[in-house]
Amino acid sequence: MYAIKEAVIAKEHSETPLDITIFNMDIRTYGKEFEKYYERAKQEHNIRFLRSKVYGIEEIDTTGNLNVKYANIAGEIKEEEFDIVVLSVGLKPESSAVSLAERIGISLNKYNFCETTPFYPVHTSKPGIYVCGAFQGPKDIPETVMEASSAAAHSSALLSSVRGSLVTDEKEYPKERVVIGEPPRIGVFICHCGINIGGVLDIASLKQFVKSLPNVVFTDDNLYTCSSDTQGIIKEMIDEHSINRVVVASCSPRTHEPLFQETIREAGLNPYLFEMVNIRDQCSWVHMDEPELATKKAKDLIDMAISKARLLVPLKMVSLTTTPVGLVIGGGIAGMVSALNLAQQGFEVNLLEKGMSLGGLAKKVYTTLNGEDVQQYVKDLTKSVTDHPLVNVYTRVKILESEGYIGNFTTKITSGSKKDIIEIKHGTVIIATGAEEYKPEEYFCKKSRNVTTLLDLESDIAKKSKRIANVKNVVMINCVGSRDEERPYCSRVCCSQSIKCALNLKTQNPEVNIYILYRDIRTYGFSEDYYRQAREEGIIFIQYEPENPPDVKMDKIQGKEVLTVQLKDPVLGQDFIIDADIVALAAGTIPLKTNKDLSQMFKVPLNGDGFFLEAHMKLRPVDFATDGVFVCGLAHNPKSISETIVQANAAASRASIILSKEIVELEGTVSIVNKNKCSGCGLCEAVCAFKAITIDPEENVAVINEALCKGCGACVASCRGGAIDLYGFSNKQIFSMLKTI
């Protein structure tokens, strides 16, 4: 995947057209949305993928170019010339991590990564020490972030009894001065930042200029405006000159605005009566050789800020009290793990399951790839959850409706055969509704009893069922219902699952011939060991391309059903016919149809495939744009049990941040609707990524939910009628800045 990304970026950024070839064995685009990226790389960016083995690279004396020698899939030896060769290299643990592990006494695996087990993927061998990120094993950013949150979840559970005990007393601010109705009285503080600003800009001339501007009642320059004694001066001057708007010309508001807002708040001013001008990072530092023009720019910037400051109004910060109760939807492994962790952290949790009992899809899974007992794990987990006094389990649940926002949701459900409506008040929601196995239409799966899916085969193996007792030839076909036009994503776990089934079957019946027909084997990370083991045990892997999928024929000979599988072997270049006793299909993982209802109910999006779409694919893998709602498990994307456990704890960790606070304070910079100007056209509602806007059906006007509004202003900029404005960045304020041009 990394190679594909670099190739695409290189193509996009190169001034001359690039021809890029990626020499590869298996393409492992198993991450969320990766398969689509791979397809685009092939089709739109014309990156050439060559399944091959490179055995040598030589420099060509005359040109300095590189000659790449390789064997293609048919075994032919070829060579090709390139300007640059980039190697995709693997990851290994840092030596310092290895020595750290020794010092603190945690076990490493044979590759020197930190050892963990499938059901405890962030637990090291030593209780109380957790691991996350690439030290646990090679992985991508989202998995790393999830593991980090997961490790935090376990730590929080251990520390829950002392939560908040080191927090010092809450700060109290003086009563806010009422400034509405007063003419603007602006105080301007210009910072020298040592010599950072003063060494380039002419501060005296800036000061002179500022003094000449209307409404400025006080101007000062400070060596460091951010120093604590200057904070004292600012507060004194606010008092002395009845300043009601403060402008600081110094560095970046991104780093220092909160400090100055705090200062004026301490002086009794609403923190939004503040405006900052960046005359350092975006002026003195970048125009060092042009002090005069830089000073002129600084004057303009200050002029703009003062123009805006005249129009600043106090904003109210919305404070919401929160209900410290969690809601988890879905009683599979993901839901149970989330609920259990929240409970262990000391929060009451409601766990909703639509079926009769807890366990979810895992009830059909018997072992992990390395042979651990999933059924036992599910049993133990179910017991821990049902026994925990803080977890309320509801089964046969129907969710009727849900309303509210971060900290304050109300969800109505029915449970069991009773018709009574149960109303649950909760502060967060974790969506852990899982997914299901695709029921293939292909390969006579619905017609022949000897064509089965992997989940059913796994159950047969675990139960030593008659169907598989005397089989001689078993064919497994991978990527059934995945990576195709209808479902253009990789189901991530099927490769490992077919290898797991093959190995287990081989253990039971060493005589059996197993053929795995695959497109790419995606046994990422340490699962690769089992791929190797499978080949060593004589399991035969045959690659196929989607254009030439295996052909399965079903005949009846003397009343007995006979299955034959025909496939072109790309290595031998000829057709291959196998009489199969069992054909097992690695059926893809597909999203639940009911995801749509939940998506609408909780105002969270689905991706094109129908899985829930997180707030940020890399950095916020369990969050949604809608605050207070989280996702984990198969509802998010196909993944292994270990990955599900990690993500479930991560979701619990994220939710606990909200549940542990009594009050959530929201920014005052939110949108506001002028009802008289609104025509109710719905454009604002459509562009709001946070579903903060609804159209009141009675009045046909837009209504903003301030608790959901993030203040991005997309609605404001979209409104033709000028009916919406944004506090803190109003149309009028921006216009006043433009007026100074």
Partner 1 sequence: METNENEIRLTVKKLFDEDKIDILIGYSPGTLPLRTSPVFLRKEDDVEVLVWNSFCENTLSNYLKNYKDKRVGIVAKGCDSRLINLLLLESQVKKENLVVIGVPCRGVIDRKKIDKITGGMEVTGSEEKEDGILIFFDGTDKKVTKADILHDSCMICNYKNAVSSDIFIGEKEKEEKVDPYNKIREMEENSTDERWNYFNKEIEKCIRCYACRNVCPMCYCQECFVDCTDPEWFGKTAEIKDTKMFHIVRAYHMAGRCVDCGACVKACPMDVDLRFLTKKIEKDVLEFFAYEAGVKDDEPPPFTTFKPEDPQEFIR
Partner 2 sequence: MEDNKAEWEPKIVAFLCNWCSYAGADLAGVSRIQYPPNTRTIRVPCSGRVNPLFILKALQNGADGVLVSGCHPGDCHYLSGNYVARRKFAILKSLLKYIGIEEERVQFSWVSAAEGGKFAEVVNEVTKGVRRIGKATKLVKEIYNGN
Of residues 512 and 693, the one with the C-beta less far from partner 1: 693
What Rg do the C-alpha atoms of the chain give, in angstroms? 32
Give 30's contacts (C-beta < 8 A, 6+ positions apart).
490, 492, 522, 524
As measured in angstroms, the least distance from the Cβ of 563 to partner 1 is 43
Q: Pick one of partner 1, partner 2, none as the site partner of residue 732 (Cβ within 5 to 8 A by kind).
A: partner 1
* Interface with partner 2 (CB under 8 A), residue from 51, 185, 296, 467: 296
* Pick 300 or 529: Cβ nearer partner 2: 300
Work out how close the CB of 477 gets to partner 1 at its nearest, in angstroms, rounded to a whole number. 33
Question: Hey, which residues between 189 and 228 contact partner 1 (CB under 8 A)?
Answer: none
Residue number with CB closer to partner 2 (302 or 490): 302
The length of the chain, given as a count of residues: 741
Smallest gap, in angstroms, from Cβ of residue 696 to partner 2?
23
Residue closer to partner 2 by CB (options 287, 654) is 287
Rounded-to-integer distance, Cα 533 and Cα 422, Å: 52
In whole angstroms, give the CA distance from residue 480 to residue 515.
15
Binding to partner 1 by residue 16, rule CB under 8 A?
A: no
Binding piece for partner 2, criterion CB under 8 A, among 45-53, 222-230, 278-286, 656-664: 278-286
Question: Which residues face 413 on adjacent strands?
Answer: 399, 422
By CB under 8 A, tell whether 43 contacts partner 1: no
* Site residue total, partner 2 (CB under 8 A): 45
**One of 109, 282, 375, 705 touching partner 2 (CB under 8 A):** 282
Q: Which is nearer to partner 1, 268 or 610 (CB)?
A: 610
Q: How many CB atoms lie within 10 A of CB 204?
A: 12
Site track 302-331 with partner 2 (rule: CB under 8 A), x = hit: --x---------------------------
> Which residue, chain included where needed, has tokens 């091959």?
52
Smallest Cα–Cα separation from 217: which of 86, 134, 108, 306? 306
618 binds partner 1 (CB under 8 A): no
Residues 656-685, interacting with partner 1 (CB under 8 A): 676-683
What minimum distance in Å lies between the beta carbon of 679 and partner 1?
6
Smallest CA-to-CA distance from 503 within 377, 366, 653 is with: 366
Q: How far is CA 197 from CA 225, 281, 691, in A?
A: 12, 9, 43
Cα–Cα dist 652/271, whole Å: 33
Query: What does 159 interact with, of partner 2, partner 1, none (CB < 5 to 8 A by kind)?
Result: none
Among 336, 585, 714, 723, which residue sits at the site for partner 2 (rule: CB under 8 A)? 714
Can you read off the two tokens belonging to residue 375? 């059924």
Q: Computed from CA positions of residues 171, 174, 175, 177, in that sequence, does the dihedral angle turn out positive or negative?
A: negative
Q: How far is the CB of 3 from partner 2 (least distance, A)?
A: 20
Which entry of partner 1, partner 2, none binds 459, CB below 5 to 8 A by partner kind?
Answer: none
- Residue of 689, 437, 640, 653 whose CA lies nearest to 526: 640
Indicate the residue among 301 and 362 with the shorter CB distance to partner 2.
301
Q: How many residues bind partner 1 (CB under 8 A)?
A: 20
Alpha-carbon distance 104 to 123, whole Å?
14
700 binds, among partner 2, partner 1, none (CB under 5 to 8 A by kind): partner 1
- What is the token pair recorded at 544? 């196929």
Stretch that binds partner 2, among 295-303, 318-326, 453-461, 486-494 (CB under 8 A): 295-303
Q: Are 502 and 461 in contact (CB under 8 A)?
A: no
Choose which of 223, 259, 657, 738 interacts with partner 2 (CB under 8 A). Answer: 738
For residue 525, what are its two tokens? 């990370």
Contact between 416 and partner 1 (CB under 8 A)? Answer: no
Q: Which range binds partner 2 by CB under 8 A, 171-179, 226-234, 273-281, 352-360?
A: 273-281
Residue 390: contacted member of partner 2, partner 1, none (CB under 5 to 8 Å, by partner type): none
Closest approach, Cβ 122 to partner 2, in A, equals 28
From residue 671 to residue 710, what is the string marking binding to partner 2 with x (rule CB under 8 A)? ----------------x-xx-------------------x
Phi, psi angle pair for 396, to nearest 5°: 45, 50
226, 313, 695, 703: residue in contact with partner 1 (rule CB under 8 A): 695
Q: Which of 281, 373, 528, 529 binds partner 2 (CB under 8 A)?
A: 281
Could you give the CA distance from residue 360 to residue 357 in angstroms, rounded to a whole number? Answer: 8
Contacts of 137 (CB under 8 A, 6+ apart): 113, 525, 526
Alpha helices, DSSP H, located in 388-471: 454-463
Give the H/E segment covering residue 227.
none
The only residue of 67, 242, 718, 740 in contact with partner 1, by rule CB under 8 A: 718
Would you call 444 helix, strand, or coil by DSSP? coil
Beta bridge pairs of residue 54: 70
Q: Within positions 245 to 264, which residues make up the interface with partner 2, using CB under 8 A?
A: 252-254
Is the CB of residue 338 less than 8 Å from the CB of residue 149?
no
Collapsing DSSP states into helix, strand and coil, what is residue 129? coil
Q: How far apart are CB 680 and partner 1 at their closest, in Å?
A: 5
Among 9, 288, 400, 663, binds partner 2 (CB under 8 A): 288
| Rounded Cα–Cα distance for residues 517 and 544 (Å) | 7
Minimum distance from residue 735 beta carbon to partner 1 (Å): 5
Stretch that binds partner 2, among 80-88, 343-351, 428-436, 724-732 (CB under 8 A): 724-732
Extract long-range pairs of 173-176: CB within 8 Å, 24+ residues apart.
Answer: 173/265, 173/266, 173/268, 174/266, 174/267, 174/268, 175/268, 176/268, 176/269, 176/270, 176/314
**Minimum distance, C-beta of residue 137 to partner 1, in the bound complex (Å):** 31
Residue 208 binds which entry of partner 2, partner 1, none, CB below 5-8 Å type-dependent: none
Span between the terminal Cα atoms of the chain, in Å: 48
DSSP E strands in 455-550: the ranges are: 473-480, 513-518, 540-543
Which region among 192-200, 542-550, 613-621, 729-737 touches partner 1 (by CB under 8 A)? 729-737
- Of 501 and 715, nearer to partner 1 (C-beta) is 715
Q: How many angstroms separate the CA atoms of 478 and 497, rounded? A: 10
Report how far residue 105's alpha carbon sits from residue 96's, in angstroms, rounded to the nearest whole number.
14
Q: 681 and 672 in contact (C-beta within 8 Å)?
A: no
- Range 13-52, binding partner 2 (CB under 8 A): none
Among partner 2, partner 1, none, the one that 658 touches (CB under a kind-dependent 5 to 8 A) is none
Closer of 472 and 618 to partner 1 (Cβ)? 618
Q: Does 469 bind partner 1 (CB under 8 A)?
A: no
* DSSP-derived 3-state class of residue 378: helix
Helix (H, G, I), strand (E, B) or coil at 480: strand
Interface residues toward partner 1, by CB under 8 A: 676-683, 686-687, 695, 700, 718, 720-723, 731-732, 735
Interface residues toward partner 2, by CB under 8 A: 252-254, 278, 280-283, 285-290, 293-294, 296-297, 300-301, 304, 615, 617, 625, 669, 687, 689-690, 710-714, 716-718, 726, 729, 731, 734-735, 737-739, 741
